[in-house]
Amino acid sequence: MKDYMLIFVGPEYGAVGLSPEEIQQRMGKWFSWIDKLNQKGVYKSGEALHPPSKRITSADLAMVDGPSAESKELVGGYFIVQAESLEQAIEYTRDFPDFDVDGVVEVREVAVYN
């Protein structure tokens, strides 16, 4: 089994404008997705990231703003999951809850050199 990072890219929920009821329903979808991955025993960890995003461009800490919360380019979080292959890791994203709000998942294999 190899580790893969599922990187969630898309606008922030606040920019989409969801109501409490819609947020709760969405959360239910996240829960059932994670439960499903847990049942398969492939979910390792995950974190969410806050929106203000800065890109540091030199050693004197010069920086530019990263994608805004409204943009569809903002990285909002990631999971680390285990899979036999890239294809299997991609298969996991079927239940990703945010496709309908312009969210996308980037799937990357975690590199291991030995």
Partner 1 sequence: MQKDNQEIVDHLFREEHGKMVSSLVRIYGIRNLEPIEDAVQETFYAAILSWRNNGMPDNPSGWLRRVARNKLIDYFRKNGRVDALDLESFSGAKVAAIHEVFSDHEIGDNQLRLLFAICHPALSIQDQVIFALKTFSGFSRREIASSLLKNEESVKKSLSRAKSRILEEDIRFEIPHGNQLAERLQNVHLTLYLLFNEGFHSAHKSLIIRKDLIAEAMRLCALLKEKFNHFDTNALMAMMCFHGARIEAKLDEQNELVQLEYQDRNKWNYPLIFKGHEYMDYAVKAEIFSRYHWEAAIAGAYIMAPTFEEIDWSKIKLYYDHLITLVPSAINQLNRIVVLSQQGKMDEAFDSFKVLNEKDFGEREYLYYAVGAELYFRNKEVENGSQFLNLALEKVENEIERKLVLKRIDEIKKGS
| Positions that interact with partner 1 (CB under 8 A) | 12-14, 17-24, 26-28, 30-31, 34-35, 38, 43, 45-48, 76-77
Cβ atoms of 14 and 50 within 8 Å: the answer is: no
Distance, CA of 105 to CA of 89 (rounded, Å): 11
Minimum CB–partner distance for residue 33 and partner 1 (Å): 9
Task: Considering the complex, state which of residue 32 and residue 57 has its C-beta at the smaller distance from partner 1.
Answer: 32
Amino acid at 17: G
Structure tokens at 32: 């059932």
Which residues lie across from 65 on neighbouring strands? 54
Minimum CB–partner distance for residue 113 and partner 1 (Å): 26
Task: Considering the complex, state which of residue 25 and residue 57 has its C-beta at the smaller distance from partner 1.
Answer: 25
